[in-house]
Structure 1
Amino acid sequence: MFQIIKPGTVIPFMKIAKLVEILCIAAVLFFIGCLCTKGLNWGLDFTGGVVIEVQYPEEANLERIRGDLAKSGISNAVVQNFGTTRDVSIRIQPKGEENQKDITEKVKVVVSEHDKRAQVTRSEYVGPAVGQELVVSGVIAVLLSLVILLVYIAARFEWRMATGAIISLAYDVIVVLGIFSVWGIEYDLTVLAAVLTVIGYSLNDKIVVFDRIRENARKLHKMAMVDLFNRSLTETFSRTIITSLTTIITVASLLIFGGEMIFGFSLALLIGIVFGTLSSIYVASTWPLLLGISRENLLVTEVKKDVEEISEADY
């Protein structure tokens, strides 16, 4: 396997762990402050709005449609294809006292000017009750996934490792949401899907690191825990960087060439991968040390498994 680090080299990651942890905590507090004061720029999936579908006789020019809508005073429209390149979905969040009928009439005028053969096939208002339901469902989905992961990691490794993993996953989620809040980027269901994807991706990295730490704890009996963590992180560093870089290249391509429809999804993934890699190296591994984990804590699970296997063999 390709190696970024020369054999025998041990990077002292934990030497600056406390400094990095302080910076991470500061970043989390800053982003939480932004989320509390500025909030998220909720998409139509959450806030409600008018959804208008238009069918064109030939391939539609989305950029031109957006420009025409902006000229008519509808600057917040989300225009994208669905099904075919001739079918266009226009989603608009009403402003002030605008209603569905007024917005639909404006869109019809713009569509007619763009192409008189085009037809509005659907006009529907998605109420805020649906949006509220989606917000609650999204929050429950994220919290439930974190609780299940906490139980899983605690059972497979140790509660201190599980605590470090959950803190780092929460850090990844808060950073993604915080950046979307600071930049005012629309948060819709595709971004929610990206956040849940980031949790799964980031967890995989942490499990690989934890597994190597436990393996080295069995082999290196006299090594101090800090040195043990440094060695384990160094041994998995090549794998972490190569995996992250290949994924970043793919996601960056989606971000650049994927268009407006998946922009939020791609951006959330890119932010999550970058900060998830950092949290795998530092946040997830730093907290077990801060909580006083010892070699015996890591080995107790293995001893129980060995005893169970011997008992089953004797039986």
Structure 2
Amino acid sequence: MRLLRIVPSDTKIDFVSKRPFAFGFSILLILISISTFLVQGLNLGIDFRGGVLIEVETNGPADIEKLRDVLGNLGLGEIQVQEFGNPNDVLIRVQQQDGGEKAQQDAVVLIKEALGDYAKEYRRTESVGPTVGAELIRAAILAVSLALGAILIYIWIRFEWQFGVGAIIALSHDVLTTVGLFAVTQLEFNLATVAAVLTIAGYSINDTVVIYDRVREELRRYKKLSIPDLLNLSVNKTLSRTFLTSMTTLIALVALATLGGPIIRDFSLAMIWGVLIGTYSSIFVAVPALLVFKLSRESFSSSDSVDGGEQDT
């Protein structure tokens, strides 16, 4: 029985020759991301800006859309309403109100009056001040920095230095453009988005490592094949795996973005962008970067050497 092949096994696409266009496009994306971030900034969510959090048990299953409409008309700014565990448990987040602690308490009173008999019990009411929001920002930056640092140390130890530098460039490219996406579109940037950035970093580096592993294998196998041809060969041999992995991930993410509701939509959109840009950078940034940094065969064993014209079995 023949297996279904979406990507032919004998593709011979010349990816490396496209590197001037790819590098130019990537530089443009990064410049747009950084400039927009510096000029416009991010649309920080309640997690970072501070605000009020209320957990409510309702009389019967909560109608989330109706609650959003009722509370959205109170004039309190951004309000998030989501189911929390059971169908009759609701979590309400309200943005920081101007006027100090009294303004936060007034907002709580206004919400309770709007809910009326719809609420059976108020399980907790918490106020997240700007100080806590600033601490969360610092913690998020630290978490992202440590995670990226650990990933890059692993790459540096496992591969030769050219691979390490290429992985750093590709990973930085993906993180910067993801943050830039949120700066340009002004989608809400919250703790879920930080989780998305970390997930994107892991996905991107995994894709890069798979291709780099193939490059290293082919460097040991082919001793007469030119480096550009060898890089193209490596990418083409992993193309089916890269394509299928990206497509199956995208199918799940598109379903989340369209059916998951507004709470998870921004996270899903960030992940969709991350999968696309991560796949692009693994092929068009990470691999051509090896040419820029003069990758050679000197670091590799000659024990597996075969003539450059032979093919893998």
CA–CA distance in 2 between the matches of 1:56 and 1:177?
Answer: 37
**Any stretches of 5+ residues in structure 1 without a counterpart?**
305-315
CA–CA distance in 2 between the matches of 1:182 and 1:28?
Answer: 12
CA–CA distance in 1 between the matches of 2:123 and 2:134?
Answer: 27
* Amino acid in the other structure paired with 2:293: L
In structure 2, do the counterparts of structure 1 residues 244 and 117 end up closer, same or farther at CA, with 3 Å as the change threshold? Answer: closer
Answer whether contact 1:111 1:118 (CA < 8 A) is retained: no
Answer whether contact 1:56 1:86 (CA < 8 A) is retained: yes
Shift of 1:126: 1.0
Q: What is the aligned partner in structure 2 of residue 111 from structure 1?
A: 115
Q: What is the aligned partner in structure 2 of residue 136 from structure 1?
A: 138
Q: Greater CA deviation, 154-163 or 143-152? A: 143-152
CA–CA distance in 1 between the matches of 2:238 and 2:200?
Answer: 20
Q: Greater CA deviation, 73-82 or 207-216? A: 73-82
Answer whether contact 1:149 1:166 (CA < 8 A) is retained: no
* Structure with the bigger percentage of helix: 1
Shift of 1:4: 3.9
CA–CA distance in 1 between the matches of 2:12 and 2:289?
Answer: 20
Q: What is the aligned partner in structure 1 of residue 275 from structure 2?
A: 273
2:181 to 156, 179, 182: 179
Answer whether contact 1:59 1:86 (CA < 8 A) is retained: yes
Answer whether contact 2:71 2:111 (CA < 8 A) is retained: yes
SS in 1 for 2:76: coil
CA–CA distance in 2 between the matches of 1:72 and 1:142?
Answer: 36
Q: Greater CA deviation, 40-49 or 245-254? A: 40-49
Between the two proteins, the alignment pairs up a number of residues equal to 299
* Amino acid in the other structure paired with 1:15: S
Q: What is the aligned partner in structure 1 of residue 105 from structure 2?
A: 101
Shift of 1:258: 1.2
Shift of 1:150: 2.2
CA–CA distance in 1 between the matches of 2:155 and 2:115?
Answer: 54
Shift of 1:56: 0.9
Q: Greater CA deviation, 63-72 or 20-29? A: 63-72
In structure 2, do the counterparts of structure 1 residues 56 and 232 end up closer, same or farther at CA, with 3 Å as the change threshold? Answer: same
2:162 to 147, 160, 163: 160
2:289 to 287, 295, 305: 287
SS in 2 for 1:124: strand
CA–CA distance in 2 between the matches of 1:128 and 1:139?
Answer: 17
1:21 to 6, 10, 23: 23
In structure 2, do the counterparts of structure 1 residues 37 and 220 end up closer, same or farther at CA, with 3 Å as the change threshold? Answer: same
Q: What is the aligned partner in structure 1 of residue 195 from structure 2?
A: 193
Answer whether contact 2:81 2:91 (CA < 8 A) is retained: yes
Q: What is the aligned partner in structure 2 of residue 221 from structure 1?
A: 223
Answer whether contact 2:14 2:232 (CA < 8 A) is retained: yes
SS in 2 for 1:296: coil
2:80 to 63, 68, 78: 78
In structure 2, do the counterparts of structure 1 residues 116 and 226 end up closer, same or farther at CA, with 3 Å as the change threshold? Answer: closer
Shift of 1:292: 1.2
* Amino acid in the other structure paired with 2:54: I
In structure 2, do the counterparts of structure 1 residues 258 and 212 end up closer, same or farther at CA, with 3 Å as the change threshold? Answer: same
Q: What is the aligned partner in structure 2 of residue 124 from structure 1?
A: 126
In structure 2, do the counterparts of structure 1 residues 227 and 51 end up closer, same or farther at CA, with 3 Å as the change threshold? Answer: same
Q: What is the aligned partner in structure 1 of residue 56 from structure 2?
A: 54
Shift of 1:18: 1.4
Q: What is the aligned partner in structure 2 of residue 65 from structure 1?
A: 67
In structure 2, do the counterparts of structure 1 residues 2 and 31 end up closer, same or farther at CA, with 3 Å as the change threshold? Answer: same
Q: What is the aligned partner in structure 2 of residue 170 from structure 1?
A: 172
Answer whether contact 2:51 2:97 (CA < 8 A) is retained: no
Deviations 1:155-210 (A, max 9, x none): 21111111111111111111111111111111111111111111111111111100
Answer whether contact 2:162 2:290 (CA < 8 A) is retained: yes
Q: What is the aligned partner in structure 2 of residue 208 from structure 1?
A: 210
* Amino acid in the other structure paired with 1:281: I
1:9 to 1, 8, 11: 11
**Any stretches of 5+ residues in structure 2 without a counterpart?**
304-313
CA–CA distance in 1 between the matches of 2:288 and 2:139?
Answer: 32
Q: What is the aligned partner in structure 2 of residue 307 from structure 1?
A: none
